[in-house]
Structure 1
Amino acid sequence: MSPRMLVARMDSVGDVLLAGPCLRAVAAGAESVTLLAGPRGAAAGALLPGVDEVLTWCAPWIDPEPPPLIEADVHALVADLRRRRVDRALVLTSYHQSPLPLALLLRMAGVPWIGAISADYPGSLLDLRHRVDGDPPESDRALSLAEAAGFALPPGDDGTLAVRVPLPELRELTGSPGYVVVHPGASVPARQMSASRSAAVVAAFAAAGHRVVVTGAPGDGGLTAAVARGGGIDLGGRTTLAELAAVLAHAGVVVAPNTGPAHLAAAVGTPVVSLFAPVVPAGRWAPHGVPTVVLGDQDAPCRGSRARECPVAGHPCLESIDPEEVVAATVRLAAGITERPQRRLTTGGVS
């Protein structure tokens, strides 16, 4: 009998999107799949093929602005999980996070089998303690856990990112397909250009004859308004995540920092110019599976620091990018030239 599965990914939209291939592999061999997500990433879970239900809970050991750990909240989660009678669970985490606090709660909920990637000794908390060599792209890392647990992608699934279709129709907001999307914001300041630099990028695209659409999260209205003054349509805060996916799907290229919408662009098959601050490794976190050009000094002093605020005066890794260089990168993408290795692919595609 196929198991009732729970897969946990407790952080942001981008992280949840990168879990997509893992979730599809699990779904191919499961009776049902529940995704346990944090409030920052739950909306992405609803877009993923293979997910039957999204359960939302904020993990204080994962969230970047963690709430207090409240005993009643923990017991409510444990009781909810127990009612679901989950057969097996996989806990997905980033390399710097521990799966063990959630594994403990899953054990309290009576989950009989739990797997995770763990550098720490898990004792009896894990049935599968998976190890990953090297520093692979994050979605490959997550997929390797599913494979170690005995799940495989179905025939014809190439293991790239994907979202559910059909997506909403938004041409009344964007006009005809083929525009450039500039998404200036990121979850932390260290990963994004200044508003003035992003506006200069938009102006450079407009001067080169490109139609530009500027996108942003609900709280980014001031940022996107300033950036769009360079010659773009301002959609900041005007789209749901599914609607944003539709906007990105009809773009010729997406220009974005290391943020969830960059991975959403990859999930809808749109090439990406990645304005990537090296506070985390580009090899793991830059978009993949689509033509991509990575811009930004990957050897800057902030490299590997995971800094939320740039520790270097002037934020040179991103502010030194010439707007004309960004425009030129789209030309290289159109010519089929990329500057980072793409993920391993098998034949076929996701229907």
Structure 2
Amino acid sequence: MKGNVLVARMDNLGDVLLAGPCVRAVAAGSARVTLLTGPRGRAAGELLPGVDEVLTWCAPWIDPDPPPIDPGETEAFVHGLRELFLDAALILTSFHQSPLPLALLLRMAGVPWIGAVCDDYPGSLLDLRHHVPGDPPEALRMLSLAQAAGFSLPYNDNGGLAIRHPLPDVDGLVGGPGEGYVVVHPAASVPARQPSARRSAAIVRALQAAGRRVVVTGSPAESDLTAEVAGTALDLGGRTGLAELAAVLAGADAVVAPNTGPAHLAAAVGTPVVSLFAPVVPASRWAPYGVPAALLGDQHAGCRDSRARVCPVPGHPCLDGIRPAAVVEAVDGLAPIPSRRFARTTPGIA
């Protein structure tokens, strides 16, 4: 058993949520877990089971819009790490990120044992240089690092995504208990991963025409988009924090969302997801994990594996080519309306 362990995942909300199984494995075999996040992922870190403390720092080699490097601030960060008296650290990164800058800072802070998934030569920076064969889901990729470090999930932990409970009561937001609804979350962290507002609005209308009550969600920064998309649907854009959003998603019959943090949040609360997935990153790694899901979008489009932030193909065909009727069909497949389920399974009754 290692005593005081730091787990680092320093990018976005969804990335931190996907680190949950790894964090729980570490928590099961250590006395205390400190989770190091970037500012964009902190809110998710505060929801993860097994975390005792969340520490936040903006890593200039990871954040998409980092401030200029401030030597004094970096020294203060290292000093703060030293005062944690860490026994070990696991650095979680995406396949295109290097763990070595953070490993250097952790060594400067006196951390005696550090592990990471790393292809580059680490010199004296890593004690565990872990390799992951193939292209597994990101949650399993991170969990494998914890397992290589000697940590295991508890016997009763199924390894799925999870967040802390209880969740806030959001009945007043969504219209009261017992009223079924489908969530449409139209936004993603970069434009290449989200459909146009026009296409998202068409999806909302199609779901409504099919008899679904629709709730549209988004952050305060996305409230203009949600207002444009919602029309006569319930617009919760800017009206929920992350815990409240989790509760809204938990109460939904299904969630329709692009590759974005709330899609992983839906998976963490066990709600089926219709994933409008742009192939700029591999779906094998980043599709909703551990829940019933339907993947829509052209996975062989010209933007495939480009990691583009803005769609390089005119017309954004991989997402804006998704037919609203296909979304309705996918939602029905994951969460049939009771009357339709009855009609399909009871021959001879109209």
Instruction: Decide: shared fold, TM above 0.5.
Output: yes
> Partner of 2:215 in structure 1?
213
Q: How far apart, in 2, do the equivalents of 1:130 and 1:320 lie?
A: 39
Q: Secondary structure at the match of 1:284?
A: helix
1:148 paired to 2:159: no
> Partner of 1:338 in structure 2?
none
Q: Does structure 1 retain, via aligned residues, the 8 Å contact 2:2–2:87?
A: no
CA offset at residue 308 of structure 1?
0.2
Q: How far apart, in 2, do the equivalents of 1:309 and 1:2 lie?
A: 43
1:68 paired to 2:57: no
Once structures 1 and 2 are overlaid, which stretch shifts more, 50-59 or 172-181? 172-181
Once the two structures are superposed, the pairs formed by residues 139-288 of structure 1 within 5 Å of their partners are 139-175=139-175, 176=177, 177-229=179-231, 231-288=232-289
1:4 paired to 2:25: no
User: CA offsets per residue over residues 110-137 of structure 1, 9 Å max, x none?
Assistant: 0000000001000000000000000000
Provide structure 2 residue ranges, at least 5 long, that are not aligned to the other structure. 337-350
> Partner of 1:347 in structure 2?
none
**Which portions of structure 1, spanning 4 or more consecutive aligned residues, are displaced by more than 4 angstroms?**
none
- Paired AA for residue 119 in structure 2: A
Q: Secondary structure at the match of 2:257?
A: strand
Identity, % of aligned pairs?
Answer: 71
Q: Rg bigger for which structure?
A: 2
> Partner of 1:349 in structure 2?
none
Q: How far apart, in 2, do the equivalents of 1:246 and 1:252 lie?
A: 12
Q: How far apart, in 1, do the equivalents of 2:2 and 2:82 lie?
A: 18
CA offset at residue 178 of structure 1?
2.5
- Paired AA for residue 271 in structure 1: P
Q: How far apart, in 2, do the equivalents of 1:147 and 1:3 lie?
A: 16
Q: Does structure 1 retain, via aligned residues, the 8 Å contact 2:117–2:130?
A: yes
User: CA offsets per residue over residues 263-303 of structure 1, 9 Å max, x none?
Assistant: 00000000000000000000100102000000000000000
CA offset at residue 334 of structure 1?
2.9
> Partner of 2:300 in structure 1?
299
User: CA offsets per residue over residues 164-222 of structure 1, 9 Å max, x none?
Assistant: 00000001110235210000000000000111110110001111111100000110010
Q: How far apart, in 2, do the equivalents of 1:220 and 1:3 lie?
A: 41
CA offset at residue 158 of structure 1?
0.3
Q: How far apart, in 1, do the equivalents of 2:233 and 2:4 lie?
A: 47
Q: Secondary structure at the match of 1:3?
A: strand
Q: Does structure 1 retain, via aligned residues, the 8 Å contact 2:5–2:30?
A: yes
Query: What is the number of residues matched between the two proteins?
Result: 334
Q: Secondary structure at the match of 1:4?
A: strand
Q: How far apart, in 1, do the equivalents of 2:237 and 2:125 lie?
A: 43
- Paired AA for residue 222 in structure 2: D
Q: How far apart, in 2, do the equivalents of 1:153 and 1:314 lie?
A: 45
Q: How far apart, in 2, do the equivalents of 1:36 and 1:125 lie?
A: 18
> Partner of 1:99 in structure 2?
99
> Partner of 1:134 in structure 2?
134
Q: How far apart, in 2, do the equivalents of 1:126 and 1:218 lie?
A: 40
Q: How far apart, in 2, do the equivalents of 1:288 and 1:321 lie?
A: 22
TM-score, normalised relative to structure 1? 0.94
Q: How far apart, in 2, do the equivalents of 1:24 and 1:288 lie?
A: 16
> Partner of 1:329 in structure 2?
330
Q: Secondary structure at the match of 1:227?
A: helix
Q: How far apart, in 1, do the equivalents of 2:280 and 2:219 lie?
A: 22
Q: Does structure 1 retain, via aligned residues, the 8 Å contact 2:170–2:244?
A: yes
CA offset at residue 2 of structure 1?
4.0
Q: How far apart, in 2, do the equivalents of 1:183 and 1:61 lie?
A: 29
Q: How far apart, in 1, do the equivalents of 2:67 and 2:184 lie?
A: 32
Q: Secondary structure at the match of 2:203?
A: helix
TM-score, normalised relative to structure 2? 0.94
